[in-house]
Amino acid sequence: MSTLLGPLLHIPEYIPAIAAFGILGIATLDTLNWQGQAGTLLLDWLASFSPAHRARVTHHEAGHFLTAHLLEIPVTGYTLSAWEAFRQGQPGQGGVSFGSEELEAALEQGTISAQLVDRFCTVLMAGAIAESLVYGDVQGGADDRQKLRSLWAQMRRPAAEGEMKERWSKLSAKTLLEDHWDAYEALVVAMEMGLSVEGCCKLIDQHQIEESLEVG
């Protein structure tokens, strides 16, 4: 396009060629050496100008965090942007990090239990479900669905069975979030403020105690 418009705009022919070569070179370097991290950081930087986008990401990740803690899957960290992930040495756009040693060991030994699968699948689907409950639609979650399908493929289970598990996991995540909605909303605020993982876990535990006292 720049080559076609160059003569009309009086742009020398070599400038579009140099620009195209430079952009493609940077993109190739990013893909091969940085696993696409530079492109992700650029997109994240552009999105950072939208408070609404930041809020949606926080609500999504809080869904993962809450359900993981409730299901006794250890949360090891969280980030709310690609830049935060980059600073912590994590790939991709960031998110909630889990202690997956139990799952990995079970997969390696071929002795994974149905309960363990249910717990991890529920946590994976919880981000998108949290978005849908708050906003009425879902913009994120593609990576989470891919992780669930990859897990299913590792277990060598039928794809149709995996689709059923995905639907079940969404219902399970929805129930957990709705049953602990006060804790979820408090967690969103805490994560926006950058509270530590330990602090967030204590916050959820405190809400659980209060909920049990109310029921009692």
Q: Within this chain, do residues 12 and 81 fall inside the same structural domain, yes or no? A: no
Number of domains in the chain: 2
Q: Within this chain, do residues 122 and 58 fall inside the same structural domain, yes or no? A: yes
Q: Within this chain, do residues 17 and 88 fall inside the same structural domain, yes or no? A: no
65 domain residue, yes or no = yes
Q: Within this chain, do residues 66 and 120 fall inside the same structural domain, yes or no? A: yes
pLDDT, position 41: 45
43 domain residue, yes or no = no
Q: Within this chain, do residues 24 and 66 fall inside the same structural domain, yes or no? A: no
Q: Within this chain, do residues 106 and 183 fall inside the same structural domain, yes or no? A: yes
* 177 burial type by CB count under 10 A (0-12 exposed, 13-18 middle, 19+ buried): buried
pLDDT, position 15: 55
pLDDT block averages, 10 residues each, the chain of length 216: 54 55 47 47 51 91 97 92 63 77 86 91 96 94 91 87 94 97 97 95 94 74
Residues with Cβ within 8 Å of residue 109, at least 6 apart in sequence = none
44 domain residue, yes or no = no
Residue span of the structural domain in which 8 resides: 2-33
Q: Within this chain, do residues 23 and 122 fall inside the same structural domain, yes or no? A: no
pLDDT, position 61: 96
